[in-house]
Every structure is written in structure tokens, then in C-alpha cells.
Amino acid sequence: MLSIETLVTFISISTFLCFLPGPDNLLVLSQSAINGCKYGILITIGLCIGLVIHTFLVSLGIAAIIQANTLAFEIIRLLGVFYLTYLAWGAFKAKPIHLKSNTKSNTKSFNDTKKLIKKGLFMNLSNPKVIIFFLAFLPQFTTDNTIAIPVSLQLLYLGLIFVVIAFTVFTFISYLSGFLNKMISSKPSVQTILNRITSLIFIALAINLCIDQRLPIV
């Protein structure tokens, strides 16, 4: 079993990283602020499912294959560029939601649970930097001591801890930004500005992912 010191260090660093601005928590933040915390939580579930998949890939060693295979990385990278561009266009065209339509919006979020979860899932899986980050980050907290559990299980253990941390942080972000819903739902101009900023963020991320020709170790 990993030492307490190692776990505390890992949890502290992971929590800090989850709070740093990135495509995942920015998506949760913007959607929760506009549509309510239910949107953010459902997207968070999808994002965390993606993290679980990445964790299993890393623990099984498939991540090393993707890192070494330029074609595989390029395909995933281009899918990420197209999807980020699609998200940017959707945010740019998004119409303001009025306060009176909040109840209807929340009902729609319940009926579209699968759609929102899939959105978060694809958002996470289409970013090749996530799996490369896991490959570079998680092994630093493992040990090759013969008494310890196998490294593959250690990676799985650490990855799942990271998923729990990400879910907790993103849920906190959802609830925090959800409080802004009542304040901005009756102000279309605020929503329009927020949507434009979100669109620009996604465009910037897409451009960065498009021009980044190297295998990134975040």
C-alpha cells in the first residue's frame, strides 16, 4: 500500500490541478452558470467516466502505445480540434435563457441526461493530453518495491483517487456557479458575454491543440 505521505502529496497536487482553468472545468463552470448546477453535474459525470477510461488505459499500458504511435495521437488530436470548434460554435449561437424558463430548462436537463453525460464523456476522451498527462503524472507516485502491490494496480488506484477528486471539485464548481444562475438568467446581455467568452476559450483551445505538433507532457 502507498504511504500516507505519498497519498497526501498526490491528493494535494491533484486537487490543485483540478482547480486550474482547463477545458473540462471551464465547460462545467459556464454550463452551470447559465443552465443551473444540474447541467454541470451531469457533464461532470461524463467527464469522470472519461477519466475512468483513461485510468484503465494507463494501467493496462495502452497509453504508452498511443504516445509512441504518431498516427493514433494525430487522429485523436484532430477529433479534439473538431469537437472544440463545434463547442465554440454552439456557445457562440447560444440564446439567452430567461428566468421564467428555468423550470423548463431543468426539466430538459433531466430528460437529456444521457446527452449531457455523453457531451462530458466525449469532451474528455477527445483530448489526447489527458491520457498523456496520466501517463506522465501517475507513475511518479508509484513504487517498484517487491512488497508493494503491482505497479499496474497502483496506477489504477491512483487514477481512481484522481477521478474522485475531479468529481468533487467539478461538483463544487457546479454548485458555486449554479448560484449565479438566478443572477444572470434575467440579464440576457450577461449571458451573451459569457457565451462569447466561452466560445473564444474553446476556439483558443482548438487552435492550441491544432498547432501543437509534439506529443505533450502536461
Prediction pTM value: 0.68
More confident: 160 or 191: 160
What nine digits make up the cell of 91? 456557445
Mean pLDDT of the chain, nearest integer: 77
At 181, the pLDDT band (50, 70, 90 cuts) reads low
DSSP three-state, residue 69: coil
Alpha-carbon distance of 172 to 90, in angstroms, equals: 25
Listed ranges 45-54, 80-89, 103-112, 142-151; the one with the highest mean pLDDT = 45-54
Alpha-carbon distance of 12 to 169, in angstroms, equals: 12
Is the predicted pLDDT of residue 201 greater than 90, yes or no?
A: no
Span 170-180, mean pLDDT?
81
What confidence score (pLDDT) does residue 216 get?
Answer: 42
What confidence score (pLDDT) does residue 101 get?
Answer: 39
What confidence score (pLDDT) does residue 28 get?
Answer: 87
More confident: 86 or 54: 54
What confidence score (pLDDT) does residue 167 get?
Answer: 96
What percent of the chain stands above pLDDT 70? 77
- Count the Cβ atoms, other than its own, within 10 Å of residue 58: 27
Give 178's DSSP letter. H
Span 132-142, mean pLDDT?
78
Alpha-carbon distance of 81 to 117, in angstroms, equals: 20
Alpha-carbon distance of 44 to 118, in angstroms, equals: 10
What nine digits make up the cell of 18? 483540478
